[in-house]
Structures are given as C-alpha cells and as structure tokens.
Amino acid sequence: MIAALLSAPLLVYLLAPIIGLLVRTTPEVWRAYVCCVDALNALRISFISATIALGLTLVIGTPVAYWLSHHEFRGKGLVDSAIDLPLVLPPTAAGLALLLLLGQQGLGSRLEPYNLRIALTPLAVVLAQVFVASPFYVKQARAGFEAVPRELLLASATLGAGRARTFFHITVPLASHALLAGAVMSWARALGEFGATLMFAGAFPGRTETMPIAIYTHSTTNLPASIALATTLVVVSFAVLLIARGLVERRVRPVVAG
C-alpha cells in the first residue's frame, strides 16, 4: 500500500498530460484535421518510412544481434556501447552528425556529379529512423538469441544441420517472440522520431514532413490540428506498446506439461 502511494505522483505526472490531450480531441476535431490532405500525407510518410526503416533494421540488425549473443571477442563492450549510443545521444545531435556525414559537406558532395542526393530527401527520413530505432531491435533480438538453449543448437549440429539451417529452423523460431517484440518497438520508435529527421531530412510537406514534424509545425499555426495529430500518434504508440508487452510476456511464460 505504501509503495502504491509513493508511486502515485509519477504515474499521475506521466498520465495527466496524455489524458488532457485525449480529452481535448473530439471526434469532430479529429475528423476535421486528421483526415485532411496535409495530415494524411504526414501519416503516409511516417508509416511508409517507419516500415522501410524496420526492414533495413531487420536486415542489418539481426546479424549484429546474433554475433553479440554467440561470440566473445576483444572489444565486445565497445561494440555494445556503440550500438547503445543512439539511445542516449540527443536526436538533434544525431541528425547533425548524419547531415555532416552524408550531406553536402561530407559524402554527399561526391554524389553530386551523379545527380544523387541523400540529405533533405525521403531517403534521409529512413536513414535517420534507422539510426535512432535500430538499437531497440538489436537489444531485444540479442536477448532472444541468448535465451535459446545451447543444447538444442549442439544437438542440431550433431544431427548434421548446417549453421544456416540451425539458425532458421531452431534459433529463429525459439527467439521469435523476442524478435517480434523488438521489431514492434523499433517500428514505434521510428514512427515517433522527430529531432534527427528534422535536422537531416528537413520538413518539406508531402516529402519529408513526418507526423511528429507535422505536430510541431502545426502547433504554432493550427493548434487543433496539432492536438489531433498528437492524439493519433499517442493511440498508435500505446497500441504498439501493448502488442510488444504481450509478445514479451508470451515469450517468458513458463510452459506447463499437460
């Protein structure tokens, strides 16, 4: 009882702003602003870019997670810290770093002769999202791979299965709930990314203006539209958290023999 009372201030502080946001969003306001062309464009860009970013994260993040979970090597702590860096790095600093690396002052200048550009394009939106969201997947995937019993992997190798077959038929199915939870969390983080995207991709309506950026730009010119967009993002994020939590709890639930 005492612990619950001591927890109340933080819970109230976390929930009160969200509740206030939801209360101020009536169905009429939501239909008027979230269904308009600009808002729909921002929603479309956010969902498409976050999904592409998730696909890239799965491709490049899964080998890293497997490597860290199954191998010991010198400098492993440094690699682990590098993967965690985007979690503590201010998003605006991350966006500036990406801009300096891939913009016109960096590698982007070498692409100009080929009429190619990365910064301030939809591609920059995806790359910024991958940078900030991939650690969420890698950490969860690594935990899932580490939870797979080594005895099963050794048994698979003893029976003649190669590494690839063991990975896809043993490791991935047993770690699937952790992989799904990490993917969901990564997608949600990409969907809500703001600072790095704004610095690296800009805020061009219909091209690089994602939903979080639209919330920011509308907050000074059209507050009801900003509230409606923010409410939509809150509802989607909460649903994603529930899905991820369900996947994690299902993974750790003990199996009782019948």
Domain that holds residue 217: 30-252
14 located within any domain: no
Cα–Cα distance for residue pair 232/46, rounded to 1 Å: 12
What pLDDT is stored for residue 251 in this prediction? Answer: 53
Higher-scoring residue by pLDDT: 98, 18: 98
pLDDT tens sequence across 75-92: 888 998 999 999 889 989
More confident residue, 170 or 51: 51
Instruction: Note the Cα 17 to chain centre separation in Å.
Output: 23
With respect to residue 258, please indicate whether it lies within any of the assigned structural domains: no
Q: Which residue has the higher pLDDT, 66 or 233?
A: 66
Please say whether the beta carbons of 225 and 232 come within 8 A: no
Of 26-35, 107-116, 172-181, highest mean pLDDT:
172-181
Q: What does the H/E/C string look like for the chain? A: CHHHHHHHHHHHHHHHHHHHHHHCCCHHHHHHHHCCHHHHHHHHHHHHHHHHHHHHHHHHHHHHHHHHHHCCCCCHHHHHHHHHHHHHCCHHHHHHHHHHHHCCCCCHHHHHHHCCCCCCCHHHHHHHHHHHHHHHHHHHHHHHHHCCCHHHHHHHHHCCCCHHHHHHHHHHHHCHHHHHHHHHHHHHHHHCCCHHHHHHHCCCCCCCCCHHHHHHHHCCCCHHHHHHHHHHHHHHHHHHHHHHHHHHHHHHCCCCCC
Both tokens of 109, joined, read 């200048």
In a domain, 257, yes or no: no
Q: What is the pLDDT of residue 141?
A: 93
Residue 75 domain flag: yes
CATH number of the domain at 131, please. 1.10.3720.10
**pLDDT, tens only, 200-226:** 999 888 899 998 998 888 888 878 888
Using the predicted structure, report yes or no on whether residue 122 has a pLDDT greater than 70. Answer: yes
- Quote the number of domains for the chain: 1
- Of the two residues 71 and 154, the one the predictor is more confident about is 71
Question: Is the pLDDT score of 162 beyond 80?
Answer: no
pLDDT of residue 53: 96
Q: Which residues lie closer than 8 Å to 234 by C-beta, 6 or more apart?
A: 18, 21, 22
Mean pLDDT calculated for residue range 61-73: 91
20 is a domain residue: no
pLDDT tens-digit readout, 30-60: 777 776 677 788 888 999 999 999 999 999 9
Q: 205: how many CB neighbours lie within 10 A of its CB?
A: 14
- pTM to 2 decimal places: 0.83
Residue 118 counted as domain residue = yes
Would you say residue 243 lies in a domain? yes
255: pLDDT confidence band, cut at 50, 70 and 90? very low
